Amino acid sequence: MTALWLRKEDKTGEWRVPVTPSGVRELINAGIEVTVERSDYRVFSDTEYAQAGAVMTHQDWWQAPSSTVIIGLKELAESTTAISHRQIYFSHTFKGQEGSAQVLKRYADGGGTIFDLEFLQDDSGRRIAAFGYWAGYAGAALAMLGLAHYAQTDAAHPGLTRFKDRQHLIDTVNRSLNNAPARVMVMGALGRCGSGAIDLLKSLAAPVTISAWDIAEFNAADKPIKEIIDHDVFINCVYLREKIEPMIDPQLLTENQSLKIISDVSCDPNNPNNPIAVYDAITDLKTPFRRAQGSDEFPVYVQAIDHLPTLLPREASDEFASALLPHMKGFLLADDLPPVWRNACNSFKLAMSSYGLQ
């Protein structure tokens, strides 16, 4: 049996959690010791975790015994300090992203391991827990907020904070749109992310015409895809596994007369295979949109926040943590790595070897 440590998040604006208080209670009832770093920033309070039985601490995770498993969601703060722990989080280091070598070297130096949440997959390659639905839902909502904003002004879009719940988000979008019609293309419409985007769009009061594209339409279209610029909004929900042809590029945007907003929910600008080739850096909650490259005459604005579900942190955390919990119990109680965790460990080793670190 292994102890678990829930760390506070380093990333600004990250309110989600991978383990909820009810999950902590279930782990403790199974005999697992759970420590929670105190934080004023989570959607669930310290009091809720304490009432669930967690040991609350002001210490930082790196002070935990090396045998303790550390769990969080987003990237660690930049550092060169070696890491000896087994860590569970979205590291964004397994697909050649910028800065991957520096992060992975910390684990090579300390003997630690990343069990990346993105790579916790069953033998068929399906992720056992994902935020995709809520990423699509929030990404579509932000796209429509951006459309309403930039229809009035070219000034920067206001910063964002979390919404109380999905109805609060829907009401906010409806007020902003004020029943103005919109034409929206959703790429990757049949996946979890795409279904979240479409559910949000269908819940709006405004008349929204949806073009739902998936692999069949993508394969049949010339690249870059000119149909994109026939819409007001383009929402990309395609999970980037391998190199694909660019869907949109600066040259296509020189022909644009309609497209106003790109919501890149998949958000992988530092990947050399990024198919949304009109921007090269993420946006954030403080500055959610940036001007697309090539959109000199007719402005197009890109949303590329890499933790969109944090805008609906309670719903997103509840769903994700519920799916992850049984696998967490198996991992923490087993003598040997269960298959899902073994697959993730193999992905870590491959990433390490790609940089000559093993």
H helical segments located in 203-297: 215-220, 250-253
Facing residues of 248 across strands?
Answer: 276
* DSSP calls for 63-80: GS-TTSEEE-SSPPPP--
164 labelled catalytic:
no
In 222-312, which ranges are continuous DSSP H helix?
250-253
Distances (CA, A) of 51 to 5, 22, 25, 54, 163: 16, 10, 9, 7, 25
| 92 part of the active site | yes
- Using the structure block, give the residue that is written with the tokens 């990250």: 14
183, 230 contact by CB (below 8 A): yes
CB of 285 closer than 8 Å to CB of 161: yes
Q: One of 11, 74, 231, 260 is an active-site residue; which one?
A: 74
d(CA 274, CA 267): 8
Helices 192-202, 132-150: axis angle to 10 degrees equals 40
CA-nearest of 278, 181, 270, 197 to 235 is 197
Q: Which of 92, 149, 157, 307 is catalytic?
A: 92
Q: Which amino acid is at 49?
A: Y
Q: CB under 8 Å to 212, separation ≥6 — which residues?
A: 186, 189, 190, 194, 198
Three-state DSSP class for residue 261: strand
For 92-139, strand residue ranges (E) read 113-116
Give bridge partners of residue 113 from the DSSP assignment.
86
Q: Closest Cα partner for 331 from 8, 98, 103, 18?
A: 18
Sign of the dihedral defined by the CA atoms of residues 235, 237, 243, 245, in that order: negative
Pick the closest to residue 294 from 259, 344, 267 (CA basis).
259
Give the residue numbers annotated as catalytic, written as ranges: 74, 92
